[in-house]
Structure formats: structure tokens, C-alpha cells
Structure 1
Amino acid sequence: MMMLASAVLAMTLLAGCGSNDNAASDDPGQVVATYKDGGEVGETEFNHYISLVEITDPQKAMYLSIPQFKEQELQMYVLYKYYAGVASDEQKESAKENAASFKTEMQNAMDEDDQLKEMLDGKLTVNQAEDVVELVSAGGMVLQEKSAELEAQITDEERKAIFDENPSDYNTVTVRHILVGTTDPQTGEELRTDEEALARAEEVKQKLEDGGDWQALAEEYSDDEGSKANGGLYESQQAGGWVAEFKEAANTQEIGVIGDPVLTEFGYHVMLVEAREEASFDSLSEEVKTQLTNTVLNTKMNEFLEGEQESLNIETNLPEEEAPAAGEDEAGNGANSAENGTEGGAADNADGNAEANTTE
């Protein structure tokens, strides 16, 4: 599991985001979380953490208006704070160095980016951000140490158990397809009715069966921007990377035969499977075995974190926020997954880099 500590640090250092130096309130505010041995988190420090997340992880920031998601972030912040307190001297020193480097990056960016300074005015100063990075870095190092310990214990039997759940996801397939879309993936607006899309797909299939050129027909008919320029080709792809219906066709359709149009959430696909290599666990590449390791590790870290949260006896008390207007928290949803009209299912198997306690 790649912990949020490293993710936050990496993104802040790369992005070099800024803030202004106007003094934000040092009032700790109301207590928003308590945990064992009298530990507390004040609203002000948590808001500093949230402000840092907002400038370093815009994708996550979109969900912070959702109470359940913000609650998860608070739970995770408590873990960082607790583990920062039990970090070794070496880890604490390294965290200080990380925070100092971050501060320099942020200060430099602050001098160049008035928009960011305005955005964070009164919310987060460079020094406050440095404090957050130091805490998250120290706590994250302890958690990463635990993650490495758990990873070292993972066996081939555990990896194979994940593989055996969906072995066909790991097949290597070369496929051509032409997508006749029903909706615009960016706007969600209807391109054509289901009946119109199916008729158009049948027309494409007939032209291909009559000897039509994949390159020319893909350029003319396909709504898949990711493949229309190369004749609809996806070469040597892991089948689990595609949405369920497309994956099923890629894994079962007769090789060398143009199949009937396949309906997915993106529209109708006219598909030709050119090659398919059935996967076995022993034949998996090291890259795929790493994916399996990460999947097992995520489960183990989830279990560990859930146990830690329970043992810390965390109690939270976030102030209630006004619910966003209908549709606001859904803005932008789906655009990325729809970009090429085929991506989807493999994320469950390959998402070893995702945080274990949140959805990203």
C-alpha cells in the first residue's frame, strides 16, 4: 500500500504549490477527534491538513464535501498524528528534512503564483503547511514500515488465490474494435439512440465482413478517440483492463472472426480478436505478480488500519456542513474512465497503489 503520507509529499514537492504568509488563526478550534491516552485533534489543525490535500490532490479534493469521505480523512489524520508521536528519532529527523524541502518549494511557488496565494489566503501559511507535512511524513514512515513488513510476509499462495478468483482477467489479448457511441463521454449528452447506434454498428460489421479496411472504417465510424487513428487496435493488452462486457467478448470471441456488436456503457463495439494468450499463474510477468502483491497488501493494510482505528478508540465530531446542491459532487465523474471507451474492470486487480482506507 502506498500511504497518503508519501502521496501528499510527492505531490506537494512536484506541484510546488503556494500559500501566503498572512497569519491564519492559531486558535485550535473545537475538538473534532479524540483518541486513546487523551489524544485530540483540533478543527484548525485538521483544516490545515485538508487545505494541503486540496492543493496537492485535486481529484481527492472533489470529494471532500462528502461527509463520509471527510470523516475517512479525519480518521486517517488521527492515525498519522498518533504514529508521528511514536516515530523513531531517525524517522522524525527525516520528516523534518522532508518538511523543510517542501517549505522551500512552496515558498518559491508562492512568489510566482498569485492565484494560489489568493485561494489559500487565511487558510494555510507556509509554516503551517510545513508542520502538516512533517507530521504526515513522520506518521507515514511508521505506516510504510508496517506495510513493508506485511509485504515481506506475502506468499505465492496468497497471490495465486487472487489470480484464481478471475484468471481470465490476466489473459493477453490483441483486439480491434470500432465503437459506435451512444453518449458523449465528456458531456454525457446523447449522440444517438440505442437503436441508431446498433444499426450503425451492424452497418460497420457488414462493411468489414465485405472486406472493408479497419483503418479507414475506424477513422470514419469509431467514437473511441484512443484507437480510431490506428485501426481500432489494442495490442497485447491485459483483458482485466476492459469493462466487463468488452472483457468477456475479448476472452471468448472466436479468434479471427468479427463478432456481433457488443453493448457496453459506452455504446456498441464491433470487435475482432486477433490473438489471445491464456494466462496461467506460473507464466505471469513480474509486473503482473507485483499487481497481485499490491492487491493482497491492500487487503492486509485495510485490516491493519481498521484494527488500529478500533484500538485507538477514535471518536470524531466534525461540524455539520451544508449538503452540496444536487449534482455538484458528481461533477466530472466518469470522464476519465470513458476516455477510450473500453477501460474499466482491471482496476480492482491492478490498483495496488491506491490507499487502503479511501477510494481514489
Structure 2
Amino acid sequence: MWHNKSKSTWRSLVLLIAAMLVVMTVAAGCGKKNETNGEGNKGAGQGDKSAVIATYKGGQVTEAEFDKYASFFSLMNPQYGMLVSIPQYKEQFLKEFIGYRLLSDKVSDKVKEEVGKQADEFEKQLTEALKTNEELKKILEPSGLTEKEARDFYVLVFSVMKNAEESVTDAQIKTEFEKDPEGFTKVQVRHILVAFEKEDKTERTDEEAKKRANEAKDKLKGGTSWDEIAKEYSDDPGSKEKGGLYELKEAKTYVPEFKDASLKQPLDEIGEPVKTEYGYHVIKVEKREAQSVDKLSEETKAALKQQVSNESISKFMSDELPGLIEKIDLPQPPSDEEKDGNAKDQAPDNSGKENKDDAAKNNSSK
């Protein structure tokens, strides 16, 4: 909850795709992932969707293709899919689709083959899930997205990401590490989080939270155990049943204020409450272990690799892609006046009925 949040759009995309796989695993009873080269085919969409809505150097996108691409992402997260209905997000999403297509031309055959094996599993899993999961069917039906087309989009997205990761060099990893070497220091801490206002459904004000945090600090300094104080005072579900303990973690995984305290606060001392966006933290730093780039864990190296590759994709999308797009021509949503006009046109005309009712009343009174 109070750990650092990722700023990368592309890392969020990876997480969303992972979330989709979890959803489908539950739906199908078991499962994994799958492949292809990623251009949605025209399918059973509603009405004529063959209009070209974007042109770029080397290709074009039809409305049907884009609708299917949006359906693919709705498989992962319905809220993400809903964003596509908002005009400004829709255009950005369309540009990213074009970017993926252009980047896919640079993907190595080796990566395509590897992702293809995953994609085969993904398609099988999706096919099984659709036999019993009505919610998945509802996501796919409006655009006519097929399992094969979903597989193609899977390959389009994952092969670009994997190719970018495999292109990252040791020198780039070192450069990324050296941006914040201290942040890779492993720290072991105990802490009490006293939340305020919205956090954890508490109603405390900032002042009340600070007062409660100082109470916890004073009791700890007075000899009360961390186990007892954490259970009574802490609003952090991840550590309150463990005496507030977080074992060795890289300092950069925490929000800035907490990270700073974990690196600067004297060891084995209970510091003054530290305020973050989540509340007040009473912190005791028990250990610090500095790391060099050549001693990083494989997990950390993989995360750095992904971070560098995400930045590479993002840079292409922001710097190069605009010059490769020739035209965007998305259908415009109806204005409020048009909506009102359509509503009036569709409203039933009861004037004839009213005249007949009046005539019937007159006849009955004679």
C-alpha cells in the first residue's frame, strides 16, 4: 500500500496483461498464455466497420481492427477497456496500437518463436474459458473478436516488449543502477503506520493521526513490544501481525519519505513519526546492506531490464511515432444537441392517442 508506485505506462500494461491471464486461469480452471504477429482480422463486428480511421507509414487501421484491439485489452481489465470510449484516451490508444505494429516489424524471429509458443497456450486457454464464462463472451461479442485474433494481439504486444527487454545491454543496466545506487540498499525495518482520513477507512484527521503515532512511539521507547504496539496501533495489514517487520527490501521500493528515513535514520533507534501520503510511520531501521551492480539479484536485474525496455518503448511512442502517423480520423461522438434530437425522434408520438381519448370522452358524455 505504501510502497512505491510504478510510473511506467508500459509496466502497467505488462501488469494488466498478467491480470488478464489470472482471470482466464480462474475461468478455465487452469491455463497459461500464447502467440502471433498481431493484426486483428476483420470479423463479425456490428455494422460496417471497414472505414479506415488511421494511416501511417506502411499501413492503415480500420475501425473493425481497432475495436478488436480494444476488446483484447478489455479482457484484461474492463475499466481499462472503458477508457477507450473516452475520446482523448481513444485517440492515444489508437496511436499506441500503431506504435506496436511498427515496432513489431523490428522483432527478431527468435523472439516471435518464443512468444508464439506462449500464444498457442493462451489461445487454448481462452477457447476453454469461453465455453463456460459468459462474461468473457460479452467482452468479445461486440467487436467479433475471435480467439485467433486475441492470440494475434497477444503476440503483437508481448513480442514487442520481450524484444525490447532482450535488447537491453549490461551497460544500460549499469547506467540505470547508477541513477540511484543508494536506492538499491537493502533495509530491514519495523514500522507502525497510523493512517489518516481516506486510508483504511479511518476518519482520523492529520493531527489525530500524528498524535496517535507519537503515542505508539512513546510506548515503544518505554519498552512495550513491537508485537503488541503493531497489533494495537498499526493500519498496515502487511506487517501489523509481524511486529511491524519488513525484512530486507531495497529502499527504492518504498515511497520517498519512507525511503529517505530508511537510509538516513540511525540504526536501532526509534525515530520521530515520518509523514507520507498514507499517514504517519514510526520507524526503526534494523539493518542496511549496500549493493553493487554486479551483486544484484537476478530478480532485481530483470526489473531493471524491464524498466530500461519500458523507457525505450515509451521514448519511441513519444518521440518517433508522431512523425510516422499520417492521419487519424476517428468517428466523432454525437454532440449533446444531436443526442437530444435523437431522443426526441425516438420518443413515441401519443398525440393521436390523446385525440382519440378526448373523442371517446365527448361521446360518452352525450
TM normalised by structure 2 equals 0.71
Q: 1:111 aligns with which of 87, 111, 131?
A: 131
Partner of 2:93: 73
Partner of 1:15: 24
Give me the whole-angstrom Cα distance separating, in 1, the residues matched to 2:290 and 2:329.
52
Q: 274-283 or 59-68: which moved more? A: 59-68
Give me the whole-angstrom Cα distance separating, in 2, the residues matched to 1:94 and 1:281.
29
Please state how far the C-alpha of 1:231 moved relative to its aligned partner.
0.4
Whose Rg is larger? 2
Give me the whole-angstrom Cα distance separating, in 2, the residues matched to 1:99 and 1:129.
14
Partner of 1:159: 173
> Is 1:172 the equivalent of 2:186?
yes
> Is 1:297 the equivalent of 2:295?
no
> Is 1:213 the equivalent of 2:232?
no
Residues 145-187 of structure 1, C-alpha deviation per residue, up to 9 Å, x if partnerless?
7425622xx133x323222222221111110011111034355
Give me the whole-angstrom Cα distance separating, in 2, the residues matched to 1:9 and 1:234.
26
Give me the whole-angstrom Cα distance separating, in 2, the residues matched to 1:179 and 1:96.
46
Q: 1:30 aligns with which of 30, 35, 51?
A: 51
Q: 1:226 aligns with which of 211, 225, 238?
A: 238
Q: Report the residue type matching 1:245 in the other structure.
A: E
Q: 59-68 or 164-173: which moved more? A: 59-68
Number of residue pairs the alignment of both structures matches = 311
Residues 276-334 of structure 1, C-alpha deviation per residue, up to 9 Å, x if partnerless?
122333433333233223222223333345565245334222234589xxxxxxxxxxx
Give me the whole-angstrom Cα distance separating, in 1, the residues matched to 2:18 and 2:135.
21
Residues 177-202 of structure 1, C-alpha deviation per residue, up to 9 Å, x if partnerless?
11111034355xx5211111111111
The alpha-carbon distance between structure 1 residues 95 and 206, as it changes in their structure 2 partners (threshold 3 A), is closer
The alpha-carbon distance between structure 1 residues 296 and 104, as it changes in their structure 2 partners (threshold 3 A), is closer
Q: 2:249 aligns with which of 221, 234, 237?
A: 237
SS at match of 2:188: strand
Q: Report the residue type matching 1:161 in the other structure.
A: T
Partner of 2:340: none
The alpha-carbon distance between structure 1 residues 167 and 59, as it changes in their structure 2 partners (threshold 3 A), is farther
Partner of 1:326: none
Residues 4-38 of structure 1, C-alpha deviation per residue, up to 9 Å, x if partnerless?
699759945961679xxx9533622432211124x
CA contact under 8 A between 1:79 and 1:139: conserved in structure 2? no
Q: 89-98 or 250-259: which moved more? A: 89-98
CA contact under 8 A between 1:3 and 1:144: conserved in structure 2? no
Q: 219-228 or 78-87: which moved more? A: 78-87
Q: Report the residue type matching 1:111 in the other structure.
A: K
Q: 190-199 or 219-228: which moved more? A: 190-199
Partner of 2:207: 195
> Gaps spanning 5+ residues in structure 1: where?
324-360
SS at match of 1:263: strand
Residues 224-281 of structure 1, C-alpha deviation per residue, up to 9 Å, x if partnerless?
1111000000010111111111111111001011000111111111111111122333
> Is 1:267 the equivalent of 2:276?
no
Give me the whole-angstrom Cα distance separating, in 2, the residues matched to 1:179 and 1:95.
43
Please state how far the C-alpha of 1:107 moved relative to its aligned partner.
3.8
CA contact under 8 A between 1:95 and 1:135: conserved in structure 2? no
Q: 1:181 aligns with which of 171, 187, 195?
A: 195
Q: Report the residue type matching 2:185 in the other structure.
A: N
The alpha-carbon distance between structure 1 residues 231 and 100, as it changes in their structure 2 partners (threshold 3 A), is closer
The alpha-carbon distance between structure 1 residues 314 and 99, as it changes in their structure 2 partners (threshold 3 A), is farther
SS at match of 1:215: helix
The alpha-carbon distance between structure 1 residues 163 and 91, as it changes in their structure 2 partners (threshold 3 A), is closer
Give me the whole-angstrom Cα distance separating, in 2, the residues matched to 1:99 and 1:23.
22
Residues 119-150 of structure 1, C-alpha deviation per residue, up to 9 Å, x if partnerless?
3475044xx32353354255447635742562
The alpha-carbon distance between structure 1 residues 65 and 274, as it changes in their structure 2 partners (threshold 3 A), is farther
> Is 1:249 the equivalent of 2:268?
no
Give me the whole-angstrom Cα distance separating, in 2, the residues matched to 1:261 and 1:6.
33
Give me the whole-angstrom Cα distance separating, in 1, the residues matched to 2:219 and 2:74.
50
Partner of 2:74: 54
Of all paired residues, the percent bearing the same amino acid is 37
SS at match of 1:224: coil
Give me the whole-angstrom Cα distance separating, in 1, the residues matched to 2:108 and 2:178.
40
Give me the whole-angstrom Cα distance separating, in 2, the residues matched to 1:283 and 1:225.
31
CA contact under 8 A between 1:99 and 1:133: conserved in structure 2? no
Please state how far the C-alpha of 1:2 moved relative to its aligned partner.
7.9
SS at match of 2:235: coil
Q: 84-93 or 305-314: which moved more? A: 84-93
Structure ranking higher in helix proportion: 2
Which aligned pairs between 1:343-358 and structure 2 lie closer than 5 A? Answer: none
